[in-house]
Amino acid sequence: MSTRPDLNFDYSPWTFWAGASAPQQEAQLERQRALAGHAAITIGDRAYVSALAMVDPDSLSLGDESLIAAHAYLTGDLRIGSNCTVNAFTVVRGTVGMGDGVRIGAHTSILGFNHSMDPSEPVFRQPLTSKGIILGDDVWIGSNAVLLDGVTVGSHAVIAAGALVTKDVPDWAVVGGNPARFIRDRRAPRKDAAVPGGQAAGRPGGVLQQDAASSGAALRERLAAFADTARREAADIMARSWQHYASGTDGFGEGRYVDRPGAPATVRAHCDAIEIADLLLRTAPPQLSRDGHRDRLLSLQDPRTGLVPEYGPDGLPLPADLEFGRGPATYHVLSVGYALDLLGGGFKHPIHAVAGTGPADLMARLNALPWRKEAWESGAWVDAWGTAEYWNLSRQTSAGTSSAPRTADTLDALFGWLLTRVNSAAGTWGTPASDTRLKVVNGYYRLTRGTFAQFGLPVPHPEKLIDTVLGHGADPRYFADGRQNACNVLDVAHPLWLARKQSMHREADIEAWAAGQLDHALSQWRPGQGMAFSTAPESGEQNLPGLQGTEMWLSIIWYLADLLGHSESLGYRPRGVHRPEPALLLPTL
């Protein structure tokens, strides 16, 4: 027993309010008042912060009855719910959000930040990046676990002691190992409980495990080989799509990107090149310097609307009257915005076409969209709108301007409208045609990409959604070998991936679909040219390899591999338009 009774509270803080004397309780409250003297720190009722803990955050919200034990180290932007325990010697740093009832074992590290890995700079000069970590409610994290930047841990999950968590953990999942793997669903009976000695159907359990391990090893080798080929040929793919000009007097230098040789120059092609270079090489395309790429894209933005026009036949920006929701400028909100983000910058001007809209006007526009006839078009509009709001909100937040609450109010209206209009029987928006779910599912991807996924919010009715999407994914018109295109496969893979963060419903069916599509996708690489948007020969120019197809299929392959638990073998992770992590976490109470 300690000779200093007060140390018992520092190492077992859950005993404090029941066992501390009145002077000890007053000393704790004084410590909390001193911490809360910083405007960015709030501490709830009957919380406890050990005097031996190092608590030096940029912002901290500590919920009621949450406890921080001795020698814990907390920095960054932290949101900790009620009834959470950060045990002794635990490290919580970067951008981290926790729900209620989270228990964190001693010596655990939750690291919501990372270092860049530019090979041209030594490690100590690398800038920091932060995608953030989200923990749901009722999460138990064992001692000595490590959670790396960018992961989301679902509610009711258990992280085994010593686990290294590098990717998202679904609700109710038990994971463990290095890297952490799914072990079982907490709600399901243990697989070895019904068969004594680990036997199944007369076969040793070890044989089944060996079969799965052998299959997984072969897939990991195939994924690694594919990624190695893509990296080796990435520079050639970008070079073949760089169109030279005889003169640089037009202010745009010596060239522009085209999707493929013979195609016209487009803004999206430039953005696709930036995404491919970042994904495979973690650098900017070699045709221009990083600043050159950034300056080129920034020069395109129209300061009046904040939109980016398309190139005309002469390779110069079209002087067209820009309108949100019409033409390529709407998608450029996504492609140019994320290309600038990958280059370390952002739009110079707000997206004025969205910034001036209030909640009532937004809901009127949502109601006017053709949800029944054109679910994809409607979902794409919401995607661009949500992304424009994201750029505006992140720009306001970084500048510290007072207009940020207005954007947040409009986002509240957007999510409120979506949550009250979703089809609870299907988990989607819009009405499918009598013979196809294509537009509804494709529209779902676009809508959720720019809203729920981009802002790190759970999607409604995930199990119904999985049923709907798998039903569509079985349609041979779109998913038989040689019939796929990048949009259709992505628009199934991403919703399944998103819903699987919240539910293990039909896990085997999801993995079977992903395995079949992945097997086909990995065979579509064309040496020195990349991948075509469509695998169907009769699709004409869409069957020709180019930047758009390459960028999209690289991301699709990551999602399919991640559904199977093997994405780390690729050695890359999308960070642009198709990023798996939320781009911005909305503030919570």
CA pair distance 90, 68, nearest whole angstrom: 9
Helices (H) and strands (E) in the chain, counts: 17, 25
User: b/e map of 54-79 (b: 16 or more CB within 10 Å)?
Assistant: ebebeebbbbebbbbbbbbbbbbbbb
Number of folded domains that form the chain: 2
Relative to beta strand 181-185, strand 173-176 is: antiparallel
pLDDT per position as a tens digit, 245-276: 554 444 556 789 999 999 999 999 999 999 99
Confirm whether 205 is domain-assigned.
Answer: no
* 427 and 465 both lie in a single domain: yes
Question: Is 393 in the same domain as 437?
Answer: yes
In whole angstroms, what is the distance from residue 75 CA to residue 16 CA? 24
Cβ neighbours of 290 (radius 10 Å): 16
Beta-carbon-side half-sphere exposure of residue 523 (alpha carbons within 13 Å): 10
pLDDT tens-digit map of 333-348: 999 999 999 999 999 9
Domain ranges, residue 123? 5-195
Q: What is the CATH number of the domain that holds 173?
A: 2.160.10.10
Q: What is the mean pLDDT of residues 508-515?
A: 94
The answer, as to whether pTM is greater than 0.85, is no
Q: Which DSSP state fits 565? A: T
Q: Residues 158, 14: one domain?
A: yes
Tens digit of pLDDT for each residue in 376-405?
999 999 999 999 999 998 876 554 444 444
Residue range 436-489, pLDDT digits in tens:
999 999 999 999 999 999 999 999 999 999 999 999 999 999 999 999 999 999
Kindly tell me if the per-residue pLDDT of 130 is higher than 60.
yes
Residues 240 and 185 in one domain: no
Same domain, residue pair 122 and 219:
no
Burial status of residue 542 (CB atoms within 10 A of its CB: 0-12, 13-18, 19 or more): middle
Residue identified by tokens 């002469």 is 314
Taking only the tens place, the pLDDT of each residue in 134-169 is: 999 999 999 999 999 999 999 999 999 999 999 899
* 198: its two tokens: 């680990």
307-316: long-range contacts at Cβ-Cβ below 8 A with a sequence spacing of 24 or more? Answer: 307/332, 307/333, 307/351, 307/353, 308/267, 308/332, 308/333, 308/336, 309/267, 310/266, 310/267, 311/256, 311/264, 311/265, 311/266, 311/267, 313/264, 315/245, 315/250, 315/252, 315/256, 315/265, 316/250, 316/252
Residue 430 has pLDDT above 50, yes or no: yes
| Statement to judge: residues 29 and 111 lie in one domain | yes
Same domain, 232 and 343: yes
In a shared domain, residues 131 and 246: no
Rounded distance, CA 107 to CA 583, Å? Answer: 29
**Cα–Cα distance, 27 to 19 (Å, whole number):** 14
- Could you tell me the CATH number of the domain that includes residue 361? 1.50.10
- Cβ–Cβ under 8 Å, residues 544 and 532: yes
Q: Which of 149, 167, 195 is the last residue of a domain?
A: 195
Is there a single domain that holds both residue 304 and residue 388? yes
